[in-house]
Every structure is written in C-alpha cells, then in structure tokens.
Amino acid sequence: MVITNSTNGFRGDFQIHGGKSFSESGGSGTVYVRAPNSAGVMQSALTLDNDNEVPNNVYISDPLKDSCRTYVITSEGDSAADMTFDSVTINGDGHLAFRKTSSADVDVTINNLYGDLSGMVHSSVDQKVQIVDSASPIPASFRVYNMATLQLPQGTTISCILRTLFEAYTSSNFLLF
C-alpha cells in the first residue's frame, strides 16, 4: 500500500502482514507513507511485517522466481531522492530486497532503520545501500550480493564477521567483494 499526502492527520495504528500459502508465503505486508511531519516537512516511511513467516531460502538465488520478500526496484529515471527513506521498519521476519534493474547508479539511503531484530535487508548485484542511523544493536540482518555495497552507520561494531564470511564462502552461493 502506498500513501502520499500533503497533510497528515492520521494518528492511529495499522497492521500489515504478508500473504499466506501452503508452500511459501508471499511478500511481506508493506506500507509506504509519504506525508508531512508535525513541522510540515515531507517524510517517507517504509514499514514491513511478514507475521513471522520466512522464505524457504534465506538468500536470493533467482530474483525472478523469488517469493516471501518485499522488493524495491531501482531503475532508469530514478534519482537518489526517489530512493531515500526517512525511516524503514522491518518486523516479523520481513525481508526487504533492493534490486537494480538498469545500468544507472541509483543509491538507496535509509536515514533510520528500526525493527525487532528478525528481518533482513538484501542489497542486490551492483546496488549501493546506505544506513545512516539505527537503533543499537542494528535491528536487522544483511545480505550483500556480488559487487554490491552496504554502508552501515558510523561507529557500528561488527562481530562474528569471520564466521559469516566462512559460511558464505563454503556455501554454493559465493560472496564476492
């Protein structure tokens, strides 16, 4: 669902969940809101919740046959402003995948990342994703695919990286830098 408005009088809550099936769930329930904050400045918020349903495959092997994730596609004509999110919230095992579909470089910026520590952000081949700020610990996991870049908030401490790199190297899905 996309909500874009020049005023923002909504002060309630909403629940969003992905679709269910017998084999694998659909993409995360997703709401994108672009509306003015209390100071009148336009802000964008992307919220995902997959109601604790997880993909059959944690990592993406074929984006054309993938499911149980929310995709944001960057394409020709998109600008950095189009791909800047003031806040992104990922709950309930939601997976957010950024996929580049053109030769144009369109960087994705997430100014504030929130979540319940269960979700994952995927940065596809040759895509740059920057997280400017987040709660600590960082409230999501990350999967960075071939030639992609993930920039974490300044001062972020990374632990268990060697184990993760070893697992990626020994799996059939190689991680290249």
Residue 7 lies in a domain: yes
Over the stretch 97-138, which tens digit does the pLDDT of each residue have? 999 888 888 899 999 999 999 999 999 888 899 999 997 788
Residue 175 lies in a domain: no
Task: Tell me: pLDDT of 164 over 60.
Answer: no
Domains held by the chain: number: 1
Residue 140 lies in a domain: yes
Mean pLDDT of the chain: 80
Residue 176 lies in a domain: no
What was the pLDDT predicted at 2?
56
Cα distances from 142 to residues 15, 16, 28, 148, 172, in angstroms, run 24, 22, 16, 12, 18
Q: Which of 12-21, 54-63, 87-96, 148-157 has the highest mean pLDDT?
A: 87-96
Q: What are phi and psi of 85, to 5 degrees?
A: -115, 125
Distance CA 136, CA 142 (A): 15
Over the stretch 1-43, which tens digit does the pLDDT of each residue have? 556 566 666 666 777 776 666 666 667 888 888 888 778 888 9
pTM for the model: 0.80
Residue 115 lies in a domain: yes
Task: Tell me: pLDDT of 177 over 50.
Answer: no
Name the residue range of residue 15's domain. 2-170
Residue 177 lies in a domain: no
The average pLDDT across 64-89 equals 86
Edge-first strand listing for the sheet containing 119-123: 70-74, 95-100, 119-123, 140-144
Distance CA 30, CA 77 (A): 23
What was the pLDDT predicted at 156?
79
| Residue 56 vs residue 4, higher pLDDT | 56
| Residue 82 vs residue 22, higher pLDDT | 82
